[in-house]
């Protein structure tokens, strides 16, 4: 006997993601899902962004890693409130992990919560974690073919940061090819080539980030 | 793994104690799920549960997008999302992302 069901497999996750989003909305906190491959420069981007905005905005961070608290310790040195989530092998964060990780934060003191997802260009694209915007960090040494190879995650991004831009003169990275592939997939997504090391390109990225905080406050 | 766990939970909930012989799922081409892997791990995870012996039927859902301006529907080729009719950049994925349990088959009770 056949029983028709038509049920979303991710419904349990999506329900919790809506809870996360409404918790953030109630306090006007911008939730940022920060994606990128391992070593792309996600944590460094958080450091540079927090440093540049520290006089105007309070950032909190949820650090997702399979193991270790290395990134949490890096960010705590800067005085940022950080909660580490270790997934123990799971390749993505899910909404339930974020709901638990929200508890230690003092929500009245935050303007934005940056959730650094597991370094991976595949699975994190499938899971809503209650965020408002998705930022994908891609870096010059990874190569200019990444939008072609990981189209789903590049399409899901609200902004793409091309990190380690100071390495462009030393690496065969065709910026025009990269831009074209990205534009075909996700036509109006803003692209920010930048270097956290030299500071080049940071101001455009920071302006976009501040606009998102302002838009979230509506 | 968490996806398969969800499939199993949904199937068991709707089975209400009856023996499940098949589970039918819709898997979008624009999800990151590879059907052959899904089946392999499904078979592994249902061993020694009340779903043991159930087959997994996977219906692949193609990627389709719709133009927000002229409403043309199209299947993006070579990862290009411009509207093929009017060239607009404003297009939405309308199917191909989904992961759904569509139906289960249960054995008749004696």
pLDDT tens-digit readout, A145-158? 999 999 999 999 99
Are the Cβ atoms of B6 and A12 closer than 8 angstroms? yes
Q: What is the pLDDT of residue B68?
A: 95
B30 touches chain A (CB under 8 A): yes
Q: What is the mean pLDDT of residues B100-107?
A: 96
How confident is the prediction for chain B on average, in pLDDT?
92
With bands split at pLDDT 50, 70 and 90, how would you rate the model's confidence at A100? very high
Q: What is the mean pLDDT of residues A187-193?
A: 96
- Facing A5 at nearest CB: one of B78, B102, B108: B102
Residue numbers of B between 40 and 69 with CB closer than 8 Å to A? none
Q: What is the pLDDT of residue B110?
A: 56
Q: ∠ CA(B87), CA(B92), CA(A120), 5° rounding?
A: 115
Structure tokens at A73: 């310790």
pLDDT in tens, A40-72: 999 999 999 999 999 999 999 999 999 999 999
Chain A contact probe: residue of B30, B45, B79, B86 with most A CBs at under 10 A? B79
- Residues of chain B positioned with their CB less than 8 A from the CB of A2: 103-105
- Percentage of chain A beyond pLDDT 90 is 94
With bands split at pLDDT 50, 70 and 90, how would you rate the model's confidence at A212? very high
Q: What is the mean pLDDT of residues B67-91?
A: 93
pLDDT surpassing 90 at residue A80: yes
Closest chain A residue to B105 measured between Cα atoms? Answer: A2
CA-to-CA dists, residue B85 to A2, A181, B63, B68, B81, angstroms? 41, 20, 17, 12, 11
DSSP 3-state assignment of A213? Answer: helix
Residue in B7, B21, B16 with CA at minimum distance from that of residue B51: B21
Cβ burial of A45 (10 Å; 0-12, 13-18, 19+) is buried
Q: What is the pLDDT of residue A216?
A: 86
Q: What is the pLDDT of residue A157?
A: 97
pLDDT surpassing 80 at residue A78: yes
Q: What is the pLDDT of residue B2?
A: 83
Q: What is the mean pLDDT of residues A199-206?
A: 98
Of B29 and B78, more confident: B29
HSE-CB at A70 with a 13 A cutoff on CA atoms is: 6
Q: pTM here?
A: 0.93
pLDDT surpassing 90 at residue A135: yes
* Helix, strand and coil percent figures for chain A, each rounded to 5: 45, 20, 35
> Can you give B38-107 as a three-state secondary structure string?
HHHHHHHHHCCCCCCCCEEEEEEECCEEEECCCCCEECCCCCCCCCCCCCCCCEEEEECCCEEEEEEEEC
Q: What is the pLDDT of residue A79?
A: 92
Is A88 in contact with A63 (CB distance < 8 Å)?
no
pLDDT surpassing 90 at residue B109: no
What is the H or E stretch that residue B21 is in?
strand B20-28
pLDDT in tens, B22-42: 999 999 999 989 898 999 999
pLDDT surpassing 80 at residue A94: yes
User: How many Å apart are CA A29 and CA A13, to the nearest integer?
Assistant: 21
A148 touches chain B (CB under 8 A): yes
- Percentage of chain B beyond pLDDT 90 is 82
pLDDT in tens, A105-118: 988 889 999 999 99
């Amino acid at each position: 006997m056949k029983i028709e069901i038509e049920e979303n497999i991710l419904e349990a996750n999506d329900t919790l993601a809506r809870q996360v989003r409404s918790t953030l909305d109630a306090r006007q906190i911008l939730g940022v899902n920060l994606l990128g491959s391992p070593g792309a420069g996600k944590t460094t981007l958080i450091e540079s962004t927090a440093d540049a905005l520290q006089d105007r905005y309070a950032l909190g961070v949820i650090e997702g890693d399979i193991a270790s608290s290395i990134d949490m310790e890096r960010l705590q040195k800067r005085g940022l409130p950080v909660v580490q989530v270790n997934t123990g092998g799971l390749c993505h964060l899910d909404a339930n992990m974020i709901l638990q990780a929200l508890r230690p934060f003092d929500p009245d003191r935050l303007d934005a919560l940056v959730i650094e997802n597991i370094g991976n260009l595949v699975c994190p694209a499938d899971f809503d974690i209650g965020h408002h915007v998705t930022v994908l960090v891609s870096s010059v040494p990874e190569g200019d073919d990444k939008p072609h190879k990981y189209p789903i995650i590049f399409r899901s991004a609200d902004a793409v940061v091309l990190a380690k831009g100071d390495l462009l003169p030393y690496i065969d990275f065709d910026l025009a090819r990269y831009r074209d592939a990205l534009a075909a997939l996700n036509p109006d997504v803003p692209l920010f080539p930048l270097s956290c090391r030299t500071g080049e390109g940071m101001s455009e990225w920071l302006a976009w980030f501040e606009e998102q905080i302002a838009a979230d406050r509506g | 793994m968490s996806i398969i766990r969800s499939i199993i939970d949904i199937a068991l909930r709707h089975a209400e104690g009856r023996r499940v012989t098949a589970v039918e799922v819709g898997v979008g081409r624009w999800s990151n799920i590879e059907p052959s892997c899904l089946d392999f791990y499904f078979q592994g995870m249902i061993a020694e549960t009340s779903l043991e012996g159930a087959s997994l039927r996977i219906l692949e859902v193609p990627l389709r997008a719709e133009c927000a301006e002229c409403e043309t529907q199209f299947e993006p080729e070579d990862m290009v999302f411009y509207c093929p009719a009017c060239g607009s950049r404003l297009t939405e994925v309308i199917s191909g992302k989904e992961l759904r349990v569509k139906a289960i088959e249960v054995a008749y009770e004696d």
